[in-house]
A and B are shown apart, each in its own frame.
Chain A
Amino acid sequence: MNLPPKTYIIEAEEAASMAKSKNLTLPQLLPSLIESAQNLANPPISNFAVGVVGLTSDGRIFFGGNIEFPGLPLHHTIHGEQFFITNLAAHAAGAKLLYLAVSAAPCGHCRQFFQELLGISDTQIVITDQPQENPDYKPFSSILPHPFGPFDLLDENTPLILEKHNNQLTLKDGDFIIQDKKTCDLPNGFSDLNAKNEELLKTEASAAARGSHPPPKDGNFINQDENTRDLSNGFCELIAKNGEFLKSEALAAARGSHAPYSGCPSGVALMDCDGRVYKGSYMESAAYNPSMMPVQAALVAYMVAGGGRYERIVAAVVVEKEGVVVRQEDTARLVLKHLSPKCEFRVVYCN
């Protein structure tokens, strides 16, 4: 299958013609894309690459691969299926997941996380490493009989992942919480520029996800200007310029967060050294522990848009409610400090 190397989304038209050219239906096409999905994985601890490919009701194909983080406890790991769901949630709101192909039997943690998708019991799944000539699709319900799920705890009307979430949140104060007087947090005279660039940033991110946009070159840091103020990572001006956008993206992510169990939605926005911003929403599981942390969700967005090394991430904002029963701040700081030590980390509280 000749897909561009880092393809995370195939649009409906392209998917249809791909299938047609091989004389296959779309569901029949998915298993042939598994190897491509496995190539998206980055599992340096296990070296066990898992690939996930799925077809939505609007004809698009989404991909996922597992990501491991050496040096951190294992619960920070992103499974292929969770990567996939995060990718889906970011780009396929309103659609349903119809077919799913995975390179190995999903673990129980993932079978559980999938319960957060409306109608998952009817989604058809095929496991491609099964020792069969033509592995067959079977309903997802068959791999997690008698599940524990959202409606064991929630009202049937509560939106699930892929359904519209619009948590009514606003930022608590207008500014960043300034942690260090030396850091520059200029009044933003660049809102026009941000607004102008916002669409471009989004389009570029989507284009990258479709594999048509080459990922940023490694080490392609912006030349440091001697007049740049003294932030330890040298990206002071860039952060000042994009600070408001970074905050508003994190707030948007918190607004889209799926947190019906704790009532503690949160979002993270990351900015790379080119000024591009990526956002991710916290997504809870009815079973609590499999919940997807917002930093991880934002890292998925980063990878889907072409990614690169984690050290390219120079600023991060977490938006969450203050002093509530589930708090991401300390853990988010820990993860980011580990992956990108020079990343400027801010928390902005919301109501």
Chain B
Amino acid sequence: MANYIISASDAESMAKSKNLTVPQLLPSLVQSAQSLARPPISNFHVGAVGLSSDGRIFFGGNIEFPGLPLHHSIHAEQFLITNLAAHGGGPKLLYVAVSAAPCGHCRQFLQELRGVCDTQIVITDQPQENPVYKPISSILPDPFGPFDLLDQNTPLILEKHDNKLSFKDDNFLTGKFSNLSNLSNGYSELVMKNEVMLKNKGLEAARESHAPYSGCPSGVALMDCEGKVYKGSYMESAAYNPSMMPVQAALVAYMAAGGGGYERIVAAVLVEKEGVVVRQEETARLMLNHVSPKCELRVAHCV
């Protein structure tokens, strides 16, 4: 199975066996990260490997979705950050190795990590024998970042988020899913059995969502044909457009857990506030309909 996370002790012993420090080990893992990429539009595989302050190594590869507009693409660096966030990595990203120069969109998204200007980055396709680490600040000088808009105390990605959210109506737990027999994908029993967990995971994801700019946290929970549930949180960027959509975040969790084809995803719940200034529902539905046509998206509003 593909590696998306290496435990701290495994990382240590791997490095030791090669007579390297863990940071020195990262470049040798980039190719492995590239093999996680699914870029059928560009065929340009990008791999990102990061060392978390808790000693674990996380991986990311770029994912493209044929048939959808390009803003649905997941960059390797965003995959990496989402992977970190989903598995309690951090609170700091200390070192990152990438197979190609990160684009500006990613250099911007990285600003959502506190202290990222000190994170050390190495780009492995540089025409050098031994590419050298340099601080991220050197590849995005004079950045536009969270604290151009927020108070310094606002939690950033990898810091604890606990948005005080609950479902809008108590009856929700049975409400929207009451027409399960209408589910055309043949998984109605499975969904019925797991629906409470699915909704609760969606709410959990919304509670963990990083949305300080809009005040509109949201989360998605996906269920596969074996009843396993994966969650992903919406994560905003100070620059708005690079924000990570919650369906994409949940797909990262799916892939990092060994996922498989998207058509294995049979049910989904989006949890977000109703009628607010930033709404994911229609875009989430469009996206899911496209990657897994038999998967129906249900929306649960929270307050």
Residues of A within 8 A of B (CB): 45-46, 48, 68, 70-75, 77, 79, 104-113, 115, 127, 142-148, 152-153, 261-262, 284-291, 293, 325-328, 330-331, 334
Contact = CB atoms under 8 A, between A and B. Distances in A.
A331 B286 contact: yes
B175 interface: no
Contacts of A261: 41-42, 70
Contacts, number: 169
Nearest to B246: A73
10 contacts: A73-B243, A74-B240, A75-B71, A79-B239, A107-B143, A108-B106, A146-B101, A290-B241, A325-B40, A327-B67
> Which secondary structure characterizes the binding site on chain B?
loop
A106 B73 CA distance: 22
Interface of B: 40-42, 44, 64, 66-71, 73, 75, 100-109, 111, 123, 138-144, 148-149, 213-214, 236-243, 245, 277-280, 282-283, 286
Q: Is the interface of A mostly helix, strand, loop or mixed?
A: loop
Nearest to A129: B148
Contacts of A144: 104, 107, 139-140
A285 B70 CA distance: 9
B104 A46 contact: no
B232 to A, nearest CB: 14
B219 to A, nearest CB: 14
A326 B68 contact: yes
Contacts of B277: 45, 70-71
Contact of A105 (B142, B280, B283): B142
A73 B103 contact: no
A-B residue pairs, 5 tightest by C-beta = A108-B108, A112-B104, A287-B103, A107-B239, A108-B104
Contacts of A46: 149, 213, 240
Nearest to B277: A70
A79 B241 contact: yes
A72 B283 CA distance: 9
Contacts of B108: 107-109
B148 A109 contact: no
Contacts of B240: 46, 68, 74-75, 77, 79
Nearest to B102: A148
A135 to B, nearest CB: 11
Contacts of B70: 261-262, 284-285, 288-289, 291, 326
Contacts of A328: 69
A325 B101 contact: no
Given A110-B104, A147-B104, 15 more contacts: A45-B213, A45-B277, A71-B279, A74-B237, A107-B242, A108-B103, A109-B237, A109-B239, A112-B103, A127-B142, A142-B141, A144-B139, A146-B139, A287-B103, A331-B283
A109 B242 contact: yes
